A and B are shown apart, each in its own frame.
Chain A
Amino acid sequence: MAKDSKVRHGALIAAPWVALVVLWYGIRESGLFNPALVPAPHAVFAKFGELIQGRLPNDMLMSTRRVVTGVLLGITVAVPVGFCLGWYKGLRTFVDPVINFFRALPPIALIPLVIVYFGIGETAKTVILFYASFFAGVIVMYEGIAQVNPIYVKVSRTLGATDMEIFARVIVPLTVPHILTAVRVALGVAWATLVAAELIAAQQGLGAMIQDASAFFQLDTIYVGIICIGSIALLMDMLLRLATRKLVAWQERIA
C-alpha cells in the first residue's frame, strides 16, 4: 500500500518531464522548424556524455562557485542591512527610495560598467553577483522584519527580556524563514545574472561554454549548457526548500 503510493508519487513527479521530452520530439518531427536546428533529445544526451568527460565538469563547478560566492556575500550583507531597515522605521523612509532605485536596475545592464572597473576576471563576476544578490535579499529581509508581530516583543518584555535577549531569542528565530526566502530569491537572480556575465566575458563557466558553442553553431552543446543551468538551479532550490522545511518546521503554512 505504502509502496504503491510511493510509486504513484514518483510517476507524478516524472510525468511533466516525460511530457517535455515528448513535446521536444514532437516539435522536432512537426516540421515547424528545420530539424537541423532542433537537436533530438537523445543527441543532446549523447553530447552530454561526451562533454562530461571534457570541459563540462569544470564549467559547472566554475559557475556554481561564482553563484554560491556571490549569493553568500550578498546575503551576508543583506541580512544586517535588511534587519536595520526593517527595525528602524525612520531609517527606512529615506533609504527605501535609494534601495528601490538600485534594485530596479537589472544587474545585467551594469555588466559593461563592471568590466570597465573590474576587468573580466573573477572579481568582476563576484561584484556583479554580489550586487544582484544583495538587492534581491535586502528587500525580502526588511519586509519580513517589518512584519514581525509586536506582540512577541511585548510578551518577551513582560517576561523580563532585555533588548539583546529579545534580539537573540525572538527576532533571530523569526528572521530565519526570511533569510531562507532571501537566499532563494537571490539564487534565482544570481543564476540569471551569472550566465549573462559569462556570455559576455568569460573563458570558463556554463555561459562561456554556451557562447563558445554558438560561435561554432553547436546547438547540442548549447542545449546541454541550458539544461545544466536549469538542473543545478533546481537542485539548489530543492536543497534550500528541504532546509527550510527542517529549520522552520514550526511555521504554519498553507502548503
Chain B
Amino acid sequence: MNGPRIRFQDVAVDFPTDRGPMRVLDGVSFDVHEGEFVSIIGPSGCGKTTILNIIGGFLNPSSGQVLLDDRPVAGPGPDRGVIFQEYGVFPWLTVRDNIEFGLKLGASRVAPAERDAVVSRYMGLMGLADFADHFPKHLSGGMRQRLAIARAYAVRPEFLLMDEPFGALDAQTRSAMQDLLLEVLQAEKKTVILITHSVDEAIYLSSRIIVVTARPARIRTIIEVPFGYPRADAVHEHPQFTELRTRIRDLVMHEYQAQANQAVRHSE
C-alpha cells in the first residue's frame, strides 16, 4: 500500500442557491499519504468544511472524484473520525457516556473489557475526569470541544478529520491539546487532515500545509513543513518556522484581500 490514502482528483462542488449554482470548490486536486498530517488553511467561508464533508462521506463532489484507498468514498464510517466545527456532543449523555458511545456500537474495535480503561484514559487526557457524570449543559465551550475530541479519539480511527478543533480553546489549553494530539499520533499511527485558521498551529503540527483561495476554493500552494516528528515546543523558535509563518501569513492575507474585493464588487 504505497499509493495515496486520500486522493482528490479535480474536484468541484456547486451548491444550489436562489441565484443559480454557487461554485464552492473548483479543480481541487491533492493526495494525502499514510501517516501524513495535512493542514488546510484559507479564508472563512471559502469551502474548507466542504472538503472535509466530502472525505467524511457526507457530500458527493459535483465533478471529479475523491478516492479513499483507491475507491470512491462511499458514505461515512468509523475509519474516519470527524471532529466537527460545531462539536455535536450528545446533550442527553454524560461526559463518560459521550466518550463511550462509539465503543458500544457494533462497529467498535475496542473489546468490552477494555472500554472503561479507554474512556478513563481519554477523559483524563482531556482534563474531563472531574466531570465524568455531568451532562454537556454544564460544560464550557472549550470543554465541549475537548469532549468531542475525546469521543473521536476513543474509537481509534485511522483518519482524523478535524475542523478547527481547537478554535474555542484559550491559548494555554490550545497548546496543550496540540501537544496531546502529537502524542496520540506518536502512539497510534493516524493520517490527519486539520482545518485551522491559525498559521502557527498549522506549521507546528503539519507535515504539509495546503493554502486555499477565497471562494471558490482552489489550491493556492502546498507547502512542505521542514520539521520531523516528534516535535517539541522549541520548533516555534526555529528561524525556518518564523520564515514559514511570514510566508503563509502573506498568502492567507492575500486571499482575505481577494475575498474582500469580491464582496465589494458584488455589492456594486
List residues of chain A with CB within 8 A of the CB of B105: 159-162, 165
A157 within 8 A of B: yes
Write the nearest CB–CB distance from A245 to chain B, whole angstroms: 13
Which size bracket describes the interface of A in this complex?
20 to 34
B91 within 8 A of A: yes
Instruction: Map CB proximity to B onto A243-255 as digits: 1 under 8 Å, 0 otherwise.
Output: 0000011111000
Point out which of A151, A159, A250, A252 has the most chain B C-beta atoms below 10 A from its C-beta.
A159
**Of A160, A248, A249, which is within 8 A of B108 by CB?**
A160
B228 within 8 A of A: no
Please, how many angstroms separate the alpha-carbon atoms of A170 and B102 in the complex? Answer: 12
Please state if B88 and A151 are interface contacts (CB–CB under 8 Å). yes
Using CB atoms, name the residue of chain B closest to A174: B92
Please state if A155 and B137 are interface contacts (CB–CB under 8 Å). no
A88 within 8 A of B: no
B202 within 8 A of A: no
List residues of chain B with CB within 8 A of the CB of A252: 91, 137
Please, how many angstroms separate the alpha-carbon atoms of A252 and B144 in the complex? Answer: 14
A169 within 8 A of B: yes
Point out which of B58, B88, B135 has the most chain A C-beta atoms below 10 A from its C-beta.
B88
Using CB atoms, name the residue of chain A closest to B104: A169
Interface size on B, residues (CB 8 A): 32
Please state if B78 and A170 are interface contacts (CB–CB under 8 Å). no
Write the nearest CB–CB distance from A89 to chain B, whole angstroms: 17
A102 within 8 A of B: no
A158 within 8 A of B: yes
Using CB atoms, name the residue of chain A closest to B161: A158
Please state if B82 and A161 are interface contacts (CB–CB under 8 Å). no
Chain B residues numbered 4-24 whose CB sits less than 8 Å from any CB in chain A? none
Please, how many angstroms separate the alpha-carbon atoms of A250 and B137 in the complex? Answer: 7
Please, how many angstroms separate the alpha-carbon atoms of A173 and B97 in the complex? Answer: 13
Chain A residues numbered 220-255 whose CB sits less than 8 Å from any CB in chain B? 248-252
Please, how many angstroms separate the alpha-carbon atoms of A122 and B147 in the complex? Answer: 54
B101 within 8 A of A: yes
B80 within 8 A of A: yes
**Of A154, A160, A173, which is within 8 A of B102 by CB?**
A160
Please, how many angstroms separate the alpha-carbon atoms of A174 and B92 in the complex? Answer: 7
Write the nearest CB–CB distance from B3 to chain A, whole angstroms: 24
Write the nearest CB–CB distance from A71 to chain B, whole angstroms: 25
Please, how many angstroms separate the alpha-carbon atoms of A154 and B57 in the complex? Answer: 10
Please state if A249 and B102 are interface contacts (CB–CB under 8 Å). no
B90 within 8 A of A: yes
A167 within 8 A of B: no
B77 within 8 A of A: yes
Q: A152-B90, A165-B106 are in contact. Are A160 and B78 (CB under 8 A)?
A: yes
Please state if B107 and A155 are interface contacts (CB–CB under 8 Å). no
Using CB atoms, name the residue of chain B closest to A149: B88
List residues of chain A with CB within 8 A of the CB of B58: 154
Using CB atoms, name the residue of chain B closest to A161: B105
Chain B residues numbered 105-133 whose CB sits less than 8 Å from any CB in chain A? 105-108
Please state if A155 and B84 are interface contacts (CB–CB under 8 Å). yes
Please state if A158 and B81 are interface contacts (CB–CB under 8 Å). yes
Please state if B137 and A251 are interface contacts (CB–CB under 8 Å). yes
Write the nearest CB–CB distance from A101 to chain B, whole angstroms: 32
Instruction: Map CB proximity to B onto A183-206 as digits: 1 under 8 Å, 0 otherwise.
Output: 000000000000000000000000
Write the nearest CB–CB distance from B25 to chain A, whole angstroms: 19
B151 within 8 A of A: yes
Write the nearest CB–CB distance from B40 to chain A, whole angstroms: 18
Using CB atoms, name the residue of chain A closest to B80: A158
Point out which of B104, B105, B107, B151 has the most chain A C-beta atoms below 10 A from its C-beta.
B105
List residues of chain B with CB within 8 A of the CB of A170: 90
Please, how many angstroms separate the alpha-carbon atoms of A248 and B92 in the complex? Answer: 8
B75 within 8 A of A: yes
Q: A250-B93, A250-B137 are in contact. Are A158 and B82 (CB under 8 A)?
A: yes
8 contacts between A and B (CB under 8 A): A155-B84, A158-B56, A158-B78, A159-B81, A160-B105, A162-B107, A165-B106, A170-B90
